[in-house]
Structure 1
Amino acid sequence: MPRTARPRGRAALAALSCCVALGCGTGAPPRGDQPSPPPSAPTGAGYGVVTWASSADRVGEAVDGRGYRLLVHTSVGGSGLRVRLSNAFGDQPVTFENVHAGLQRDGAALVPGSNRRLAFGGARSVTVPPGGIVYSDPLPGHVPAAHTLAVSLYVARAGGALTGHWMAMQTSYTTEGDHTAEESAANWKQRTGSWFYLDAVTVRPGKGTGAVAALGDSITDGRQSTTGLNRRWPDYLARRLAKSPTNTVKGVANGGIAGNKVLTDGPGQSALNRLQRDALSLPGVRTVFLFQGVNDIKAEPGATAAGLIAGYRKMIDRAHAAGKCVVAATIAPFKGWQEWDPAGEAVRQEVNAFIRGSGEFDAVADFDRILRSPHDPERILPAFDGGDHLHPNDKGMRAMADAVDLESLDCGAG
């Protein structure tokens, strides 16, 4: 599996300074030995701006006494890091005995001095009820942008359904027992390609900074991009936003789930059913970026453009009611995929005509135009094809991100 290279020279010193800053502050979080009830989870300014997120789903059965070291990549930097832990799909309470956050050095090893305990209402333990989420207290110190954060969880008691994200496109680590405070990789030998319980990280960046939440399927989730190198199209978008001198949207939340649909539950709840949790509830989100529909077309017998359009309109209404803007992307070509047929292609074309021409979205990104072959517009361009005629490769992912008008993501500013 790819591994994160260690920075060298001046870059190494700068990175180390940023990393150690995560462990600096005015004092350690208060400690307690008793679980506390989950605090409320508002989305206001006190909770900052989302710097990383993934979409929760049921991913198996929960286990007592398991440790998880979850590696995630920040988009925007800031102070006051909080993590959001989810038991959204659980049917039993989950008790987190210890939670730490630090910055990755290499593999499961952390930068010395960067690993800090997080508290929950002043206590080190927290029990999250079935269907619940909980935010940690803010952690003193600065979290750098575009760095790999390691969130280490020790689950003392759990059972029933396990909440997480199956296809992370990132290697994380698991262990038996509580090794969350350790910065060494010695006890973190088991690898996993999924995330568990953790579904968002927030920071407090500069005043006026916002975020975009990308709601999508396996293409947004990053399938066929290179594992461990953060080459999903939302990652490339985050890099563009970071370099923009004028754009105030800096945070990017990835709400992709492989196989996900707009209208019906399948892998994960439908986009309609998860819009609130995976986009609107995330702190600092200014704009929802909607790129879904291909799974409804290729996997649902009798799928119609009218049905998809009705679903889009419901999401537009809900997002606008929440004060968010909605940017939509056209559905990309997929001829050559085993479920493609002319009837589905006709639906795709009709839906794309609505996205481009209806004027109901606040802005449009034409991913279809960017990805399609000029020789056969129903197919993805071979240079962008990840090999299955549906999912773009790294080059295609970057082309998608480059096609987004950054100013359109700032439409909710002020």
Structure 2
Amino acid sequence: MNSLPSPTPPAPGSDRKPHRRSPSRETGPGRHDSARRRTGARTPGRLARPLATAVALALAVALAPAAAQPAAAQSAPGQGGQGKARGWVAAWGASQVAGSEIPWSDCPAGEGLENLTVRNVLFVKGGGSSVRVRVTNTFGTEPVTVDKVTVALQNEGADAVPGTLRTLTFGGRKATTLAAGEERFSDPVRMPVRALSTLLVSVHVDKATGPVTNHPFTAQGNYLAEGDEAADPSGDDYAGTPCWMLVSGVDVRGDRRTVGSVVAFGDSITDTASTTGNANQRYPDHLARRLQARKGPTLSVVNAGLGGNRLIADREGEPYYGVAALSRMERDAFEQTGVRSVILMEGINDIGYDATADELITGYEAFIEEGHRHGVKVHGGTLLPMAGSFIWTESRQAIWDAVNEWIRTSGAFDGVIDFAAATASPEDPLTLNPAYDSGDHLHPNDAGTRAMAEAVDLDMLLTDARERAPGAGRR
């Protein structure tokens, strides 16, 4: 079953200079996250190879991440991960995919950029005194030269707060060339940033890029302008675009309160769900608000959700859904700057592609093992109820039951967050609470993502910041 992300609204300003066709819904031929069953019968034509082979390949990736990841995962030693960049924490991040044409989206990443400036609108979930930005060509097939990058506080839309725009450098130079598969942090720039504020990160590229590494489903209006508009604080020359491009992370030199980061890792339910656009209503956003409301030490939050993503295998022919979780976990989770713990909630799409409970459990165990190898704790989130959705069947329900039971009772995870219980109908634990239902009986709305965030034990996460995971340091 083709599952996936939630709709992204038309980007603000899209009536000024629309790039191509109007942005539509992020729901492809099969839409949203799916769930399927326990036995092995498969829907004809869905899989390019048997799932057992896919699991074997995915686990091979987990055991040898350096060989499987794009070069970007290895291109900047010492810049990411727990303890590798003293004083810095990841304040924003997005999982990246290869540039490709998305039939229902106006994102230009598939055709690439030439003499254009993309202005990415980024809701940062950690505060600090200085900023550095990670530009990316992770999935590019040829070098990309980034000619200018700026960062500013957002005023409204594409407009920057006057006096806040900073031009970034890379080794003291404004331009930098990224080899295929490479990503790179900018030099730090002094710029006080409060947690829960919004940054505008503008990137100008002069020469044709080819397909651009991007994050396609954002629930956020971003912007595109002809020529070099990166240093212009005004948004007058920008038109709307739905995706984030060429930027994969923002770090801050943490304030006294921010002691690390937690990564929310998953599929569309983590990425955007069916939340209100341009309102930062994703569950990791609500979690960040809860953490920031606490007195004393706190954590930033990184959203490593990716619409349509699978745990144990890629989705063949659909690059906009990203590589499998076990292939991206190193880069997207365990190498985030200052990461202390990961909340893993993924697997609903695998169930929809005929994965068995045993195959998913093997994948979870590989993810946990890799986290512990990095000294990062991994907490398991139960899969949300899906009865009544267009993908529900009795056999799919059986495997959902088995997977959630294992997450709750196996003791394999360092902690458990029962998202299923938090979002279930009081009348039926297998059905999404009507108050949290976006309408498809699968993806939560704004209230549902808030309920998910409220189910997270903050003390558990803050304890993680003081402890190393079991087995850490044994390599």
Same fold judged by TM-score > 0.5? yes
In the alignment, which residue of structure 1 is the partner of 2:335?
Answer: 281
Mapped to 2, the partners of 1:46 and 1:96 lie a distance apart of: 27
Q: Would you say 1:126 and 2:180 are equivalent positions? A: no
Number of residue pairs matched by the alignment: 377
1:336 to partner: Cα distance: 2.2
Mapped to 1, the partners of 2:363 and 2:298 lie a distance apart of: 26
Which amino acid is 2:273 matched to?
R
Mapped to 2, the partners of 1:260 and 1:403 lie a distance apart of: 23
3-state secondary structure, aligned to 2:303:
strand
Match 2:195 to one of 117, 123, 145: 145
1:411 to partner: Cα distance: 3.5
Encode CA deviations 1:55-106: one digit per residue, 9 max, x unaligned: 1002313222111011001111102201111111100111110000001111
Q: Would you say 1:195 and 2:244 are equivalent positions? A: yes
| More contact order relative to length (CA 8 Å, sep ≥ 6) | 2
Cα 1:375–1:412 shift into 2, 3 Å:
closer
In the alignment, which residue of structure 2 is the partner of 1:263?
Answer: 312
Mapped to 2, the partners of 1:222 and 1:285 lie a distance apart of: 21
3-state secondary structure, aligned to 1:361:
coil
Q: Return 52-61 or 81-90, whichever deviates more.
A: 52-61
1:2 to partner: Cα distance: 9.3
Contact 1:41 1:134 in 2 (8 A): no
3-state secondary structure, aligned to 2:426:
coil
Q: Would you say 1:230 and 2:280 are equivalent positions? A: yes
Match 1:400 to one of 449, 452, 460: 452
Mapped to 1, the partners of 2:425 and 2:191 lie a distance apart of: 48
Cα 1:304–1:331 shift into 2, 3 Å:
same
Superposition pairs for residues 60-99 of structure 1, below 5 Å? 60-99=110-149
Q: Would you say 1:382 and 2:434 are equivalent positions? A: yes
In the alignment, which residue of structure 2 is the partner of 1:53?
Answer: 93
In the alignment, which residue of structure 2 is the partner of 1:9?
Answer: none
Contact 2:218 2:244 in 1 (8 A): yes
After superposing on structure 2, the runs of 4+ consecutive aligned residues of structure 1 that deviate more than 4 Å are 1-4, 38-41
Q: Return 75-84 or 308-317, whichever deviates more.
A: 75-84
1:40 to partner: Cα distance: 4.8
Superposition pairs for residues 195-214 of structure 1, below 5 Å? 195-207=244-256, 209-214=259-264
* Unaligned segments of structure 1, at least 5 residues: 5-37
Mapped to 2, the partners of 1:185 and 1:412 lie a distance apart of: 41
Which amino acid is 1:194 matched to?
C
Contact 1:92 1:161 in 2 (8 A): no
Match 1:360 to one of 409, 412, 417: 412
1:195 to partner: Cα distance: 0.4
Which amino acid is 2:333 matched to?
A
3-state secondary structure, aligned to 2:400:
helix
Query: Percent identity, aligned pairs only?
Result: 41
Q: Would you say 1:42 and 2:79 are equivalent positions? A: yes
Cα 1:245–1:47 shift into 2, 3 Å:
closer
Q: Would you say 1:297 and 2:351 are equivalent positions? A: yes
3-state secondary structure, aligned to 1:121:
coil
* TM-score normalized by the length of structure 2: 0.77
Which amino acid is 1:360 matched to?
A
Mapped to 2, the partners of 1:41 and 1:255 lie a distance apart of: 20
Q: Would you say 1:251 and 2:300 are equivalent positions? A: yes
In the alignment, which residue of structure 2 is the partner of 1:26?
Answer: none
* Unaligned segments of structure 2, at least 5 residues: 1-8, 13-74, 100-109, 316-320, 467-475
Cα 1:252–1:66 shift into 2, 3 Å:
same
Mapped to 2, the partners of 1:213 and 1:401 lie a distance apart of: 13
Which amino acid is 2:166 matched to?
R
Encode CA deviations 1:270-295: one digit per residue, 9 max, x unaligned: 11000011111110110011011111
In the alignment, which residue of structure 2 is the partner of 1:306?
Answer: 358
Cα 1:274–1:293 shift into 2, 3 Å:
same
Mapped to 1, the partners of 2:343 and 2:216 lie a distance apart of: 22
- What CA RMSD, in Å, does the superposition of the two structures yield over aligned residues? 1.6
Encode CA deviations 1:86-145: one digit per residue, 9 max, x unaligned: 111100111110000001111111111010100001100000111111100001131121
3-state secondary structure, aligned to 1:310:
helix
Encode CA deviations 1:8-58: one digit per residue, 9 max, x unaligned: xxxxxxxxxxxxxxxxxxxxxxxxxxxxxx865622224710001111002
Q: Would you say 1:184 and 2:234 are equivalent positions? A: yes
Which amino acid is 1:50 matched to?
A
Encode CA deviations 1:307-347: one digit per residue, 9 max, x unaligned: 00000000000000000000111011112222221111111
3-state secondary structure, aligned to 2:154:
strand
